[in-house]
Amino acid sequence: MKDSAFVTIQVLRLLIAPFALMLMATLVLFSNLSRLSPELQLLIVTLPYLLGAANLLLGFMFNQSRLLFAAFNLLGVYALIQLCLQTPLERPDNYVLFSLLSLLLPINQFVICLAPERGLLNPGAWLRLLLPLATYLILGFLWQQQILGYWLGYLPMLLLELLVAGHYLSEGAAWLFGLTFVLSALVLSLRRTRADAALFVSLLIMPALFFWFDLTHISPLLFTCIQLILCQALVSHSHHLAFIDELTGLPARRALQEQLSSLGQRYTLAMMDIDHFKQFNDRHGHDAGDQVLRMVASQLKQVGGGGRVFRYGGEEFTVLFRGKTEAEALPYLEQLREAIAGYPLHLRQPNRTENAKAGRQQRQTGTPAKRSTQGSDKALRVTISIGLCERGPAQLHSDEVMQLADKALYAAKGAGRNRTLANSQQTRRPRRNSQADFA
């Protein structure tokens, strides 16, 4: 139950921004756009091209092939609509092209959604880009030569029968949109990435394009909305890369620097370091070291007192307390230190599943995990040393506060490790005796 609730919350958080953009597009769509000046109406028609080009550039820069291909797919369909379908659909060529686009758009978008993210530096990626391009170019050529009209008699009845009288979405296209929407929801629940959330919402919006195809400016507005959703996913991805540590999920050093530049007159900063981490890595391997970092990060996330945790780098972490003195922050840091020191760490074995539900089933059935040559039955204990410093009249800059917190950390390590030491508690300047003391 807890796992399903956690997944639901994660998915809902990913969908907040795309749904907000979709709501804005809906409000604009049903406003009176005919009153706009010709210049603004031209801008509305041009926006999908501009946003699509921006998404192609961002997708290339961040090596996000799926969002790049989605933007390209939308550009191809939008160009055909603007160039070929600005006359009534009663023309056979137009209706055949319209029907084919109502199938190709969701199919291509779902294939992009289903494919794993493998970047752009592989031959298969460019094949997935060239295939839709060739398809849309051929359809445009056939429409121009007035050949598509001859295909009208070969369309299946599901593409000729409308879902609702007076609207242009066919029953076949509606079933296809419904199927791809359900399957993309399943993909989103399994992967829970920003790209999957954007593609899921795009498949939710697309049927409206064909259902209300006769509305003024519906294709520019909806394609603008979808391109904005893709753009938001790309920007969020770049922000995540820059400000979030991938291993621990904590804000990274760049996020800390931004916080430090906007602090007020009163705060306390704590520097933390995992004791004997280098020796632990040398003995148990880097995979075990990563497990230690994730465990420590998960414990640090539980910090009270309004503290915010950052991964400073390597085995070092930082906790920032806004509006608190050393004395006020010290109890919360002591709780963290004791929680980590008392945590029994069992190294993850090679056959241990990453899935929480499967792991519970494995434990309930009594299936033992194979012990690695480096593992042992005995739980390992990890400790941290903490140094903290509050901003005072003599420390006007955050760099000075951090340096004093770092000195307090060295002093805590020199005093035996697994302890918390405030800058005000230091009676002497800490001396670093040897490199091993701070490994």
Q: Do 53 and 153 sit in the same domain of this protein?
A: yes
Of 204, 222, 243, the position where a domain reaches its end is 243
Any domain includes 360: no
Compare 368 and 403 and report the one with higher pLDDT.
403
pLDDT score of 424: 83
Q: Do 225 and 304 sit in the same domain of this protein?
A: no
Q: 339: domain CATH number?
A: 3.30.70.270
Any domain includes 365: no
Q: Are strands 384-390 and 420-422 parallel, antiparallel or unpaired?
A: parallel
Q: Do 237 and 120 sit in the same domain of this protein?
A: yes
Q: Do 307 and 177 sit in the same domain of this protein?
A: no
Q: Do 223 and 266 sit in the same domain of this protein?
A: no
Q: What is the pLDDT of residues 163-215, one digit of tens each?
A: 888 888 999 999 999 999 999 999 999 988 889 999 999 999 999 999 999 88
Full domain range(s) for residue 9: 2-243
CA 25, 29, 33, 37 dihedral sign is positive
HSE at residue 243, side-chain half, CA atoms within 13 A, is 12
How many structural domains does the chain have?
2
| Whether 59 contacts 71, CB under 8 Å | yes
Q: What is the pLDDT of residues 104-157, one digit of tens each?
A: 999 999 999 998 888 887 777 778 888 889 999 999 999 999 999 999 989 999
Q: Do 202 and 221 sit in the same domain of this protein?
A: yes
Of 217, 243, 269, the position where a domain reaches its end is 243
Q: pTM of this prediction?
A: 0.75
Q: Do 232 and 293 sit in the same domain of this protein?
A: no
Q: Do 259 and 400 sit in the same domain of this protein?
A: yes
Q: What is the pLDDT of residues 328-346, one digit of tens each?
A: 999 999 999 999 999 988 8
| Residue of 351, 347, 353, 352 whose CA lies nearest to 375 | 347
Q: Do 226 and 257 sit in the same domain of this protein?
A: no
Of 190, 213, 243, the position where a domain reaches its end is 243
Six-digit token string for 284? 């148990």
Q: Do 430 and 283 sit in the same domain of this protein?
A: yes
Any domain includes 352: no
SS3 state at 118: coil
Q: Do 116 and 172 sit in the same domain of this protein?
A: yes
Mean pLDDT for 245-274 is 89
| Residue of 103, 94, 222 whose CA lies nearest to 171 | 103
